[in-house]
Chains A and B, each alone.
Chain A
Amino acid sequence: MNTPPPAVPAEEPVVIEVERPWREAWRMFRQNTAAVAGLVTLTLIVLVTVLGPFVYPVDPFAPTGPLLLPPGEQGFLLGTDQQGRDLVVGLLYGSQSTLMVGAAAAAITITIGILFGALAGFYRGWVEEVLMRITEFFQVLPPLLLAMVVVLLFSPSIYSISIAIGVVSWTSTARLVRAEFLRLRELDFVKAERAIGARNARIIWTIILPNAAPPLIVSAALSVGVAILFEAGLAFLQLSDPNVMSWGYLISVNRPQILEAWWPVTFPGLAIFITVLSVSLIGDGLNDAFNPKLRQR
């Protein structure tokens, strides 16, 4: 019973095995079947988008068959649209711009959101007043209407559409980031940084922001889905770039024929539905993963 305590080498510190937060999140995420299904689907969509044009190098606008051919006839798996274009090709090439608009708009949303939220939440005072009033101003404008105005101002192109969507959807991100900053700036480790004389920029970007990342990632994932829906909505209102194939464009040009031919509208619609659904599932999964306590509740 008098065994001596095991010898601890003085030069080696004690290592307590704590799972790293990111690894823990990934473990939680993997346990969520729906989220994994979403991730697999989205990965497939991205793969098809990237590889499709190499496998099938054709002009997506070139008519290749008779007009409005029903699915499955004459070798056209999904049929043709009102200009005689193969819908498989249209969907393949359309995903490119749809995903690009989604990603670009989400990037704009996150960038503006972080900038506004971080500065307002960190500095408080008049900076917060000004930035939050601007945010509120954008919040009360109807987003679709504002996006339409922006697209009309710069004439519809893939760039103006991405910018328009980004410009109308950054407000919630800004408020989220601000709330996180308000919470974190009072915590001890931030105070410690301040005490040792770190500059504000360092505190904002390298101390607080990484700790505010989890909710931001969730919000970014969800805003990709919103942006894709927005792009389709604008295209439905004929506000799409006519030189770039996109799912929304396919729906918009084929809509007048919907009473006669359901397929040129239905398939792009389904593609949008599946993509947005998988993005949302991933977002939900991330949310649960980063907030394990919330999940257990």
Chain B
Amino acid sequence: MLRNSGLLALTAAVALGAATAVAADTPKKGGTLVLVSSQVPRHFNPAVQSGIATMAPGAHIFATLVRADANWKLHPYLAKSWTTSADGKSVTFKLRTDAKFHDGKPVTSADVKFSIETQKANHPFKTSLGAVADVETPDSHTVVVKLKNPHPALTLAMSTSIVPIIPKHVYGDGQNPKTHPRNIKNVVGSGAYILKEYKRAQYILLERNPNYFLKGRPYMDRIIYRIIRDSSSRTIAMEQGDGHMYPFMSEVAAIARLKKSDKLVVTDKGYAGIGPNTWLAFNTKEGPTADVRVRRAIAYAIDRKFITGQLHRGVSTASTGPIVPGSPFYTKDVETYDVNLKKAEALLEEAGHKKKDDGTRLELTIDYLPAVQDVQQRIAEYARGQLKKIGIKVTVRNSPDFPTWAKRISNWQFDMTMDLPFNWGDPVIGVHRSYLCNNIKKGVIWSNTQQYCNPEVDKILAAAGQETDPAKRRALYVKFQQILAQELPVYWIAVLPYHTAYNKDLGGPPVGIWGIVSPMDDIYWKKQPK
């Protein structure tokens, strides 16, 4: 053991030396980066549209006030500095004075105010800026955000294209920002790249912004998103070197295959902020799953280790609660329901579901999101097999398309469903929505469709959303995770195995918490590809 740790220290020292050597290797300018992607954007204005398709290129085109690294630490971007008042209800941003939009006009406090107001009025993530009461602009490069209540998630939301800074002189002309013609043509931001061309469902061409306010950057001359709908074709494009980077890869077989390539690096880093959780949701109001004992029995029958280790061949990690591992608020100190079929049967017995002559105790249905087969259909089918062992006859319901599934689930016509909601950085943005009593909204998908309601949880979440002290805030979220793991409105299974494959000659890969939903001004070719 001792010898091992000595060896480890030595390896670490060597690795550190190597890291320093690489850091000394100054980034080189020039070259083209080709990304392969399945996502077809509707337009490029992330102030009024969520979804990776818009947010990723949007983050290269539009600069934001702050930016984040791989450790959830925030750094200056358009804002030089920011301070929060003692009561947490006012945040002051000092802007850089040298930042200009792609059309040459300076970025001022008026643009920031306009951006925040436009986002608040139009963006689907209502909680990201919902607490904003007013935006003051004492001078052209100072912005004071006044809040109704403390909102510690504010700066994190501003560190990616959830809150992009858009030019008032372009988008403030009175037209509806959701359908503004400049969302797709002549898009003007202040980010590292300028949108040159978009051929719908074919490619997105971004070119280097020569007047970017961070001198010397970006290093790439252009970024091209090649849109390829078929996943096997994307894999082959990477293998043949036609693509240099393949983000948001979720097919287990493709990940395993590309990992074998000696030309590529495959990493699961870059998704901590997005936090894609895969879970089995229960109808907690109607049917047998309204009984918490039935939900616990189901949890005891489903083996997360088998799913992550076998079905996903070790490329995904287990998810034990509403907040994904990788978030600073995550705790593993919760009930984990390690597989135990005896306990599961005992719980069903206790809940009054006696074994009938044919060995079944009760019947349930399971739905799944008709996408990302590996983390939906395959888990649903595995669950059916496991639940049969404890006497639950499960019928898998296949939805031919997304609207069919969304209609069923949002109208609460289900027993159980597989689903994959994202955390989106701060729990306030992506986690609260699934568990709050007042977010039980019939007909709205990705609201609290489990119809779970616990006033105590509501109270904890309300307090946690406003707590400015990080330690106290974490304590509240730990409590929240523990209560939910006891009551199981959903059984969390795994983090979606998102991976990025990239050419090994690339330096500065996007491994921050937001992955490619970031400026991408620090990526470069160590050696130009042939």
Contacts and interface: CB of A to CB of B under 8 A. Distances in A.
Interface in A151-180: 151-152, 155-156
Interface in A237-255: 238-243, 253
Contact of A256 (B251, B313, B381): B251
Contact of A259 (B235, B384, B395, B404): B235
Contact of B381 (A83, A239, A257): A83
B385 A257 contact: no
Interface of A: 59, 61-63, 66-67, 82-84, 151-152, 155-156, 238-243, 253, 256-260
Contacts of B378: 82-83, 253
Contacts of A258: 232
A82 B311 CA distance: 8
Interface in B365-397: 370, 373-374, 377-378, 380-382, 384-385, 388, 395-397
Contacts of B384: 61
Nearest to A153: B400
B4 interface: no
Interface of B: 231-232, 235, 251, 253, 256-257, 310-311, 313, 370, 373-374, 377-378, 380-382, 384-385, 388, 395-401, 404
B189 to A, nearest CB: 37
Contacts of A83: 311, 378, 381-382, 385
List the 3 closest A-B pairs by CB distance, nearest first. A242-B396, A152-B400, A257-B253
Contacts of A151: 400
Contact of B396 (A63, A152, A243, A257): A243
Nearest to A151: B400
Contact of A242 (B231, B253, B374, B381): B381
15 contacts: A66-B310, A67-B311, A83-B378, A83-B385, A151-B400, A152-B400, A155-B398, A156-B400, A239-B400, A242-B396, A256-B232, A256-B251, A256-B373, A258-B232, A260-B257
B480 to A, nearest CB: 34
Given A257-B253, A259-B257, A156 B373 contact: no
Nearest to A261: B253
Nearest to B306: A63
Contacts of A156: 398, 400
A61 B400 contact: no
A63 B385 contact: yes
A228 B231 CA distance: 28
B232 to A, nearest CB: 7
Contacts of A253: 373, 377-378, 381
Given A63-B382, A253-B377, A259-B235, 5 more contacts: A62-B388, A152-B400, A240-B398, A242-B381, A243-B396
B310 A155 contact: no
A272 B399 CA distance: 26
A59 B359 CA distance: 14
A243 B374 CA distance: 18
Contacts of B257: 259-260
B209 to A, nearest CB: 39
